[in-house]
Amino acid sequence: MKNLKDTRRIGLGCMNLSHAYGPRPSEADAITFLNEALDLGYDHLDSAALYGFGSNESLLGKAVMHRRDEFYLASKCGMFKDETGQRSIDGHPDVIKQTCEDALRRLNTEVIDLYYLHRWDKRIPIEESVGAMADLVQQGKVRHLGLSEVSADTLGKAHREHPITALQTEYSLWSRNPEIAVLRACEELDVTFVAFSPLARGYLSGELTDPNQLPENDIRRKMPRFSEEHYPKNLTLLDPVKAIAAVLGITPAQLTLAWVLNQTPTMVAIPGTTQLNHARDNLAAADIELSDDVLDELDRAINLDTVSGPRYGKATLAEIDTELFDSEKD
């Protein structure tokens, strides 16, 4: 079985198939898509207990576990539903261990290659949550540990408890928080940085022109940057991106994915999609080389100063642990 560093630099985020975005494919179409993605060469699949409240893990368990030796399997614990059926962040050791048992059953596998703490439960010292996850490694149920949306300081504390293989956080041209400290910390600790939403939840593809066309249950409808106040301003920022992509003969999505991969040599990105043509284009972005001039031009076009609106609303910002720019603080 491969280590994360042996996989392709573009993995497949599987959330779109079961959770948060819409429209979602039928189970039959999702199963077909996942197998076609493996046929294309994807060798890193990323899921979570939260996605569809377990249904995404169950989908993978049904769709691709007969091809288990072809891919590196990542999933997450620490954020699921409580006794009332509502989304809950819970990092208690007993909950983490039970979530893993349930995940293994849903995934129809004996071991998860990379198991992330989806959110740090700030009521519980990070060492206690990671200690419980380390027990899972000792028991052979998990091979490697990861963290999601945590600060450089929290990463250091966790890494001293048990080696951390990967840190996953949103990162793209319009979400730059990892540049404050996390990217540097990952390099110093030899932790692979995994960028989720590297296409800014579809914004950087240039295909989403009107968020009002999204289904009512699509999470982007509640995200500030996709609001009627901010999205029209953000759309104008894509003009130079589209122009550069046209000159290079690639798509805006490929261009901006290549930008992400150029930030550090060990960067991994996990864009999500339900469309095979997008999956094919995304995978090809890893082979695109960008000049320093192009990288600089992209940096000038879309950055903290040019993007309109915060990444998350205040409630969500309060529950994550990542460093914030001054403009995002109260």
- State pLDDT tens for residues 85-130: 889 999 999 999 999 999 999 999 999 999 999 999 999 999 999 9
Which pTM was predicted?
A: 0.96
Residue 135 Cα distances to 94, 130, 131, 179, 311, angstroms: 11, 9, 6, 32, 35
* pLDDT tens digits, one per residue of 144-160: 999 999 999 999 999 99
Task: Tell me how far apart the alpha carbons of residues 223 and 217 are, in angstroms, rounded to a whole number.
Answer: 12
Q: Is 231 a catalytic residue?
A: no
Collapsed DSSP state (helix, strand, coil) of residue 241: helix
| Beta-strand pair 166-170/142-148 | parallel
- List, in order, residues 6 or more apart from 131 with CB less than 8 Å away: 93, 161, 162
Q: What are phi and psi of 220, to 5 degrees?
A: -65, -25
318 found inside a domain:
no
Is residue 233 over pLDDT 80? yes
Listed residue (278, 233, 274) closest to 253, CA to CA: 278
CATH number where 175 lies:
3.20.20.100
Q: What pLDDT score was predicted for residue 1?
A: 52
Residue 221 belongs to some domain of the structure: no
Omega within 30 of 0 (cis) for the link into 25: no
What distance in Å separates the CA atoms of residue 117 and residue 78, rounded to the nearest whole number?
A: 5
Q: Please give the structure tokens belonging to residue 165.
A: 């293989």
Nearest-angstrom CA–CA distance, 165 and 112: 13
Cα 110–chain centre separation: 24
Is residue 314 assigned to a domain?
Answer: no
User: How many CB atoms neighbour CB 94 within 10 A?
Assistant: 9
The pair of structure tokens assigned to 144 is 């490697």
Percentage, residues of the chain above pLDDT 90: 91
Q: What is the DSSP secondary structure assignment for residue 7, as one 8-state letter?
A: S
Task: Please name which of 152, 148, 188 lies closest in space to residue 168, comparing C-alpha atoms.
Answer: 148
Please indicate, yes or no, if residue 293 is contained in any of the structural domains: no
User: 119 with 320: CB under 8 angstroms?
Assistant: yes
Q: How confident is the model at residue 330 (pLDDT cuts 50, 70, 90)?
A: low
Q: How many domains does the chain have?
A: 1
Q: Give the model's confidence band at 22: pLDDT under 50 very low, under 70 low, under 90 confident, else very high.
A: confident
Average pLDDT over residues 191-213: 96
Question: Active site residue: 21, 42, 51, 72, which one?
Answer: 51
| Biggest distance spanned by C-alpha atoms of the chain | 54
Look over the chain and give the mean of its residue pLDDT values, rounded to a whole number: 96
In a domain, 244, yes or no: no
Domain that holds residue 68: 4-205+252-288
d(CA 171, CA 197): 7
Q: How far is CA 158 from CA 133, 143, 168, 185, 323, in A?
A: 11, 16, 14, 12, 16
Query: Facing residues of 81 across strands?
Result: 87
Least confident of 20-24, 61-65, 176-180: 20-24
Tell me which residue has tokens 């759309």: 235
The one-letter code for the residue type at 159 is H
pLDDT band at 14 (very low <50, low <70, confident <90, very high): very high
